[in-house]
Structure 1
Amino acid sequence: MRYSDIEAFLAVVKYKTLTKAAESIHISQPALSKRILQLETELGEQLISRRKGQRSIDLTEKGIAFVPLANRFMAVWNDIKNLDSQDSYPSFRIASSDGPHLYILQKVYNSLMSIYPNLTLKLRTFSYKECYQRIANGTLDLALVGANFYFDKITSVPVYSEKMHFICRKDSGYPSFVEPGMLDASNAIYSSYSTEYNMWFSHWFCGKCDPYIESDLILQVKEFLLNSKKNMWTFVPTSALDVFLKEPNLSMKEFSHEPPERIIYLINKIEEPSEYISAFKSILKTVIQDIEGIKLLL
């Protein structure tokens, strides 16, 4: 499997058209099509659908399933390319969803870099399951996740918990005290915050219809809430609450059947933790103690 073929495939995924994808990696459109075909031949699967007159490119089911594998291939490729620099500067590879990265961990990163100025931080955003898989295969050192899965030789420790809050637009017409029966899932913006939250959401809202929008990017949730239908609604964790409530058109309402608190777990290999992991935990504990509304569990 060649780097150039994977690069071509991911360009198509990003730009949705062969023309823009080819321009982005500085090759001709026929050359890009040839690379995609070579990749499909090697895999024995069709990755993109080809229909006459179709301008935008759609992925097949196999193509959609191949996207995370292609991204993983590129990440490993980049690690191999950076072997020389890794000899000079130690690296610390951390993953999380975007919320903890943005609202909890930034101060931790700043303190860590001041203690270890030559340390190279590699920050990634993956699904919870992929975080576990990458810890297991050694391509991550540590991750903060909202799910407590069982993986051999991986330790999972609860770090903090936070409440979930109902957020909607001020012109939505929802009362100050909201009942589940007042809400339509087709107006929901859903994020997979934690295992417990997912089960709670499924209990109250799934079965009738799918959420209007599903997004794992907390800032994208805010933009959809502001710019989509006025009766859209969502839940956000305490750590992100201020960002939403700073918007003059958004408000928080009381909810009759509150979601369970979101629990974030710190995961790493069971083997003796590195100096960096120990320092990270110590700094994280101090940072969380200073955040109002976040309950320290570490």
Structure 2
Amino acid sequence: MLNYLGIEAFLTIVKTKTLTNAAEELHLSQSTISYRLKVLEQEVGKKLLIRKKGVQEIILTPFGEEFINICERWMSLQQEMEILKKRGTKLSIIIGGADSFNSYILSPLYQKLCQHNPIINIEIRSQHTDESYESVERRDIDIAFVKKERIIPNVLVEPFYEDEMVVVRLATDYRVHNELISPEELNSNHEIFMNWGPSYQIWHEKWWDPISSSRIIVDTAALVFSLMYDENQWAIVPRSIANHFIIYKKFIIQKLKYPAPPRICYKIRNKHMNKMKQECLEILEHYAKIVYSTDGEGLSFPVDSSY
């Protein structure tokens, strides 16, 4: 097994370029740094540095260059091991999710988890859907909330909730909050368009000619609301996001007479989980049912999972 001191010395030499600088950074003598490097080279059975007289900056051997990545991963694992030792048997969970999910939908659920007793250590990461699938497959994260369904070995995928799609517009005196509106009444020239997925795109093209498309196209929900300045402008967004922004009293929500396909949030996790992770997921499911049965107008929470 590789020794920590040798790897620390080697990575510091690589970072600082010389043995002298590495010794200064680690507050050690140069002879100590040299000894630790020598011991590490003996352990791996390969030279890591080329030593030349009169040349201060290090020269890595081809093996040494390849060995850097291994050392960095090894140090990362050591740090995770230390964290795990300090945590002991405390419950912990790492959650990934699209930024819009984390910001506008899942925050009440996260708040419940933070208040749980006994304490759960929670790490939340904002990730794109593809990144979340890769992280779950590698078991870098425990659970993720994603925008689309994919088939990947060892990854379980199931719907977490459905989110009704609604029209949002600037508030005016003559518009009634939550009034029903037909897509035929909406002029695509005034649309702020965001693509909510393939099924939404197909529905959208049934009502508006894709050739004479919207003047404004965005890729984040927040931009929809920040770019809306005219009473004729409109956009279609998930109700959970609309509810987040209308608290500022500037916007209204209108239901579609001919509804767009709901946006589905999928929950994904690795098929192989230990008992402590399973316990955390059961707690998360419990709070999800509480939060979304009382909070989400337009949200449908269909999952009744047991782990």
Question: Which TM bucket (shorter chain)?
Answer: 0.5 to 0.7
Q: Is the 8 A contact 2:192 2:214 kept in 1?
A: no
Aligned to 1:70: none
Match of 1:282 among 268, 283, 286: 286
- The letter for the 1-side match of 2:301 is L
- The letter for the 1-side match of 2:152 is F
Counterparts of 1:138 and 1:165, CA distance in 2: 36
Map 1:172-211; keep pairs closer than 5 Å. 178-183=181-186, 185=188, 187-205=190-208, 206-209=210-213
Change in CA separation of 1:78 and 1:148 when aligned onto 2, cut-off 3 Å: farther
TM-score normalised per structure 1? 0.61
Q: Is the 8 A contact 1:189 1:234 kept in 2?
A: yes
Question: Do residues 214 (structure 1) and 218 (structure 2) align?
Answer: yes
Structure 1 residue 230: deviation in Å?
4.6
Percent of counterpart pairs with the same letter? 19
Structure 1 residue 178: deviation in Å?
4.4
Structure 1 residue 297: deviation in Å?
0.3
Figure out how many residues of one structure are paired with residues of the other and give that number: 221
Structure number with bigger Rg:
2
Question: Do residues 291 (structure 1) and 295 (structure 2) align?
Answer: yes
Helix, strand or coil at the partner of 2:141: coil
Aligned to 1:136: 137
Helix, strand or coil at the partner of 1:150: coil
TM-score normalised per structure 2? 0.59
Aligned Cα RMSD in Å? 3.5
Aligned to 1:101: 102
Structure 1 residue 154: deviation in Å?
1.0
Change in CA separation of 1:145 and 1:252 when aligned onto 2, cut-off 3 Å: same
Structure 1 residue 194: deviation in Å?
4.7
- The letter for the 1-side match of 2:107 is Q
Gap regions ≥5 residues in structure 2: 1-10, 12-72
Structure 1 residue 180: deviation in Å?
3.6
Aligned to 1:85: 83
Structure 1 residue 285: deviation in Å?
1.9
Counterparts of 1:177 and 1:283, CA distance in 2: 32
Question: Do residues 223 (structure 1) and 226 (structure 2) align?
Answer: yes
Structure 1 residue 229: deviation in Å?
4.8
Helix, strand or coil at the partner of 1:271: coil
Structure 1 residue 112: deviation in Å?
2.1
